Amino acid sequence: MDGFDYIIVGSGTAGATLASRLTEDPACSVLVLEAGGPDRGLWLKLPVGYYKSIYNSRVSHLYRSEPDDGIDGRQMDCPRGRVLGGSSSINGLIYIRGQAEDFDDWEALGAEGWGYRDVLPHFRSLETYSGPPSQYRGAHGPLQVSDLRMTNPACEDWLNAAREWGLPDNYDLNGESSYGVGRYQLTLRGRFRDSAATAFLKPAMARPNLTVQLRARVTRLVFEGNRVTGVEYAQGGQIITVHADREVILSAGAVQTPQILQLAGIGPADHLRAMGIVPRHDAPEVGENLQDHLQMRSIVELTDTHDSLNDHVRDPIRLARMGLDWLIGSKGPLTVGAGQYGGGACTSHAKGRRPDIQLFVMPLSVDKPGKPLHRYSGFTTSVWQCHPESRGSIRIASTDPAADPQIRPNYLSTQKDRDVLVEGIKIVREIFAQPAFRNRWSREVVPGGGVQTDDEILTAIRKGATTVYHLVGTCRMGTDDSAVVDPTLRVNGVSGLRVVDASVMPKITSANTNAATFMIAEKAAQLLKQTS
Interval 483-530: pLDDT, tens: 999 999 999 999 999 999 999 999 999 999 999 999 999 999 999 998
Where in the chain are the domains?
1-100+188-291+394-402+470-532, 149-183+294-385+412-464
Report the C-alpha gap between 309 and 364 in whole angstroms.
Answer: 5
3-state secondary structure 396-458: CCCCCCCCCCEEECCCCCCHHHHHHHHHHHHHHHHHHCCHHHHCCEEEEEECCCCCCCHHHHH
176, burial (CB in 10 Å: exposed 0-12, middle 13-18, buried 19+): exposed
Q: Active-site residues: which are they? A: 470
pLDDT-above-70 percentage for the chain: 99
Asked if 505 and 470 touch (Cβ cutoff 8 Å), the reply is no
Which pLDDT value is given to residue 531? 83
> CA 370, 375, 379, 385 torsion: positive or negative?
negative
Q: For 211-250, how does the pLDDT look when each residue is reduced to its tens digit (9 = 90+)?
A: 999 999 999 999 999 999 999 999 999 999 999 999 999 9
Q: Which CATH number fits domain 149-183+294-385+412-464: 3.30.410.40, 3.40.50.20, 3.90.580.10, 3.20.20.210?
A: 3.30.410.40
Segment 30-40 shows an average pLDDT of 98
163 pLDDT above the threshold of 80 = yes
Assess whether pLDDT exceeds 70 at residue 69: yes
Q: For the stretch 380-399, what's the b/e string if a residue is b when 16 or more beta carbons lie within 10 angstroms of its beta carbon?
A: bbbbbbbbbebbbbbbbeee
Q: Mean pLDDT over all residues of the chain?
A: 97
How crowded is the C-beta side of 123, counted as CA atoms within 13 Å?
25
Q: How many alpha carbons fall within 13 Å on the CB side of residue 382?
A: 25
> Which 3 state secondary structure label does DSSP give 487?
coil
Closest by CA position to 50, among listed 339, 325, 326:
339
What length is written for the chain? Answer: 532
Question: Do residues 53 and 86 make contact, with C-beta atoms less than 8 angstroms apart?
Answer: no
Domains 1-100+188-291+394-402+470-532 and 149-183+294-385+412-464 share a fold: no
Q: How confident is the model at residue 142 (pLDDT cuts 50, 70, 90)?
A: very high
User: What does the pLDDT read at residue 532?
Assistant: 66
pTM score of the predicted model = 0.98
- For residue 164, the surrounding DSSP H or E stretch is helix 153-165
**Rounded Cα distance, 311 and 318, in Å:** 9
User: Residue 87: what pLDDT?
Assistant: 98
* Residues 477/279/35/189 CA torsion (nearest 10 deg): 0
253 pairs with which residues across the strands? none
Q: What is the mean pLDDT of residues 84-99?
A: 98
Angle between helices 454-464 and 415-432 (to 10 degrees): 100
Q: Which residues are annotated as a binding site?
A: 83, 218
For 1-100+188-291+394-402+470-532, the fitting CATH number among 3.40.50.300, 3.40.50.620, 3.50.50.60, 3.30.390.50 is 3.50.50.60
- Alpha-carbon gap, residue 90 to 369, rounded angstroms: 11
Extract the runs of DSSP E, i.e. beta strands, from 260-377. 266-267, 281-282, 294-302, 341-345, 357-362
Q: How confident is the model at residue 59 (pLDDT cuts 50, 70, 90)?
A: very high
Residue 92: CA count within 13 A, CB half-sphere: 22
Mean pLDDT across 258-265: 98
Cα–Cα distance measured from residue 93 to residue 518, given in angstroms and rounded to the nearest whole number: 13
- Looking at residues 252-281, what average pLDDT do you find? 98
Supply the angle between the helices 100-108 and 116-126 in degrees, to the nearest 10.
130
**Counting Cβ atoms within 10 Å, is residue 207 exposed (0-12), middle (13-18) or buried (19+)?**
middle
CA distance 31 to 26: 14
Instruction: Flag whether pLDDT at 1 surpasses 90.
Output: no
pLDDT score for 396: 98
Count of Cβ atoms closer than 10 Å to residue 83 Cβ: 29
Report whether pLDDT(463) > 60.
yes
